[in-house]
Amino acid sequence: MKDKVLLVDDDAMVLAGLKRQLRNQFRIDTALSGEEALKQVQENGPYAVIVSDFMMPGMNGVEFLSVVKKTSPDTVRMMLTGSADMPTAIRAVNEGNIFQFHPKPCPTDTLSLGIQSAIQKYHKVISHQQQLNNFKSSLEEASKVQQELLPKSDPEFDGFDIAGRSIWCDETGGDYYDFLYPPANGKERIGIVVGDVADHGIPSALLMTTARAFLRERIQASPTACAAIISDVNKRLVQDVAELDLFMTMFYCELDAKKQLIRWVKAGHEPAILWTPSAADSPELLAGKGLPLGIMDDAVYKEYQKQISSGQIILIGTDGIKEAVNDRGEMFGTQRLLQVINDTAAQPAKKILDTVFESLNRFCHPLKIDDDATLVVIKVH
């Protein structure tokens, strides 16, 4: 099917001649004014190409094509006019984003070649737009899949109140958290992991998804020490991402309900915070040594442990919270996070979590958070 071309000129004789000369090559519609042409665009469009005169009563060509640029941005716009002065050409290009400018009289072959070039440009634009739409659609589907991989609900674990959340600055994210149940431990232990892939976007999302699969598989395969679990996950990640210059940090811990302690491994991740009511202004950091995952296959990881007691709160997060910046260039920081904990310590873990993210959004407004942000709140009963 021939591509549709709209010719706009206030001279009916000119339009009739152009239509007669070009109708064997293109599907030609005509309009005698800018107002009439806009109606045609609305009712019969989209047009691949619109060729407009400049001097017309009412709406001139530049004004008309400027409106078309907004209402039908993919249409390629050309101008054919006897007013071939430089100011007209400049206005046409700057305001109407004109593809080509042809002064009258214009040979039919020249105009035909110009329209053919415009149609080729139109098809390239449409093809690019379709590819972009397909990519956006795929990205939306990828986001849905990745969201499904996050915990559907917070865990119920005797002696603890636990809540987690992850928000992404893109459709897909590199932050990750999960609740895991090592086999052969009954209801005595629960594993909690928070990870942060360097950068964000699709590559980070793929690495996060891969790490999640490796970790879940490893924990179910054979119960063992936390350090051995993380070491094995690291070796498998290195095999997959060695040439991709990607890595991720991770904080993995297990809560032991029977012994009332926390065991953890830190792989390049920022320390978790252990908040105690009697020392609210000086919380303890659950730190440790260990390289991020995906860098060295022989990296050594160490397990740490600590007794915990009723009333304490453990915060495991990513740097997207403390490093979030407002429009004054200030970071949210540790002190603002701790102030939220001090103010809400008596509340359930879910309420504490909600308040942290509400405070973060208020702090950043009107800016959006420019990095993924994840936090798991653990209250010890």
Q: Are residues 65 and 35 in the same domain?
A: yes
In three-state form (DSSP H/G/I as H, E/B as E, the rest C), the secondary structure along 213-232 is HHHHHHHHHCCCCHHHHHHH
In a domain, 142, yes or no: no
Alpha-carbon separation of residue 76 from 44, 111, 126 (angstroms): 16, 14, 11
Q: Are residues 52 and 111 in the same domain?
A: yes
pLDDT band at 221 (very low <50, low <70, confident <90, very high): confident
What integer is the mean pLDDT of 367-371?
85
Q: Are residues 170 and 316 in the same domain?
A: yes
Q: Are residues 348 and 252 in the same domain?
A: yes
Q: Are residues 114 and 161 in the same domain?
A: no
In a domain, 143, yes or no: no
Q: Which helix (H) or strand (E) holds 3?
A: none
In a domain, 145, yes or no: no
Q: Are residues 156 and 127 in the same domain?
A: no
pLDDT digits (tens, 9 = 90+) for 37-73: 999 999 998 999 999 998 888 898 888 998 999 999 9
Q: What is the pTM of this model?
A: 0.71
Give residue 32's domain range.
4-137
Please, are residues 324 and 332 in contact by the beta-carbon 8 Å criterion?
yes
Lowest mean pLDDT across 96-105, 284-293, 331-340: 96-105
pLDDT of residue 22 exceeding 90, the answer is yes
Q: Are residues 111 and 181 in the same domain?
A: no
> Which tokens hold the place of 293?
């995952």
User: How many residues are there in the chain?
Assistant: 381
Please, are residues 155 and 162 in contact by the beta-carbon 8 Å criterion?
yes
pLDDT digits (tens, 9 = 90+) for 253-284: 999 999 999 999 999 999 999 999 999 888 99
Q: Are residues 283 and 186 in the same domain?
A: yes
In a domain, 178, yes or no: yes
In a domain, 118, yes or no: yes
In a domain, 144, yes or no: no
Q: How far apart are CA 200 and CA 187, in angstroms?
A: 35
